Amino acid sequence: MDPRLAIIDRRLEDIGRVIAISGGKGGVGKSVTASVMALLLSKLGYRTGLLDLDFYGPSVHTILGAKPTLPEEDRGVVPPEVHGIRFMSIIHYAGENPSPIRGVDISNATIELLAVTRWGSLDFLVVDMPPGIGDTTLDAVRLMKGAEFLLVTTGSKVSLAVVRRLLSMLVELKVRVIGVLENMRMDGSSSARDEMEALGVPFLGEIEFDRGLEDSIGDVEKLMRTHFAGKLERVLGKVLSST
């Protein structure tokens, strides 16, 4: 048995809730949802951590305007603090260079990152999941026991089809799903609300396509004034009231 697995349990034991932001598909707004949610939680006074588990295309640091910083080492790795959030990502080590890892190496990298990171006591750890329904998602479920999933989708048929498959997998694994958020809602686009209600899955709300969001990337003050952040704050209320 890998001794790092027992260490992971100790690293996470003082964290109140672990919320994994997923969707199964890239380009639906998972990373910006995870980033803004962590910022909102910190703004409300919660001790918050943010973990970017996307090894292929980490983007949380870009959204937050954070430069790669070599973390302090003290019986493990202490996540650097960014805008009041303890933030951990592979970019602290790889910088902007690609991380060409696959297969068992992905699982090994996930285990290593979770084993070395000393989060300390947190109310929330928000995890930005990579796209796809594969090793990293399965590893997250296996390694972060008790993690809850918040799924992000658009109204497109393709995105909804992927979310349905992800939901089916999570239900089979007996993982708690907080609910589904529809992002980038467009006039006349298909709504996820009816489909999620038919599946018996909590629908957290819709966020309309925010044309000003892209201009706010890298500027946290501007980001928190966007329509997207305002709507996500309402969704957060549902997340906080869910148990």
Per-residue model confidence as pLDDT tens digits over 38-82: 999 999 999 999 999 988 888 999 999 998 888 888 888 999 999
For the segment 170-177, the average pLDDT, to the nearest whole number, is 94
Tell me the average pLDDT of the chain.
90
Q: Which residues sit opposite 126 in a β-bridge? A: 19, 50
Question: How sure is the predictor about 99, in pLDDT bands with cuts at 50, 70 and 90?
Answer: low
Separation of alpha carbons 124 and 50, rounded Å:
8
Residue-level pLDDT at 88: 95
Q: How confident is the model at residue 151 (pLDDT cuts 50, 70, 90)?
A: very high
What is the C-alpha to C-alpha distance for residues 63 and 90, in angstroms, rounded to an integer?
15
User: What was the pLDDT predicted at 3?
Assistant: 86
What is the model's pLDDT at position 118? 96
Nearest of 126, 119, 82, 21 to residue 218 by alpha carbon: 82
How far is C-alpha 60 from the chain's CA centre?
A: 9
What is the per-residue pLDDT across 111-121, written as a single tens digit (0 to 9) for each? 999 999 999 99
Q: What is the mean pLDDT of residues 133-146?
A: 87
* CATH code for position 176: 3.40.50.300
DSSP 153-207: E-SSHHHHHHHHHHHHHHHHTT--EEEEEEEEE-TTPPPSHHHHHHHT--EEEEE
Reported confidence tier of residue 27, pLDDT bands at 50, 70, 90: confident
Between 92 and 1, where is the model more confident? 92
Residues 210-233 have a mean pLDDT of: 95
Sign (positive/negative) of CA torsion 192, 213, 85, 136?
positive
220 is in which domain, residue-wise? 3-241
Query: Cβ neighbours of residue 106 under 8 Å, at least 6 residues apart?
Result: 55, 135, 136, 139
How many domains would you assign to the chain? 1
**Whole-number pLDDT of residue 190:** 63
Task: Round to whole Å and give the CA distance between 139 and 143.
Answer: 6
- How far apart (Å, rounded) are the C-alpha atoms in residues 51 and 34? 9
Give φ, ψ of 164 to 5 degrees. -60, -45
pLDDT tens per residue, range 191-221: 788 889 888 999 999 999 898 899 999 999 9
Which tokens in the block code for residue 143?
A: 């390694």
> Span 22-49, mean pLDDT?
95
State residue 191's pLDDT score.
75
| Residue 94 in this model has a pLDDT that exceeds 80 | no
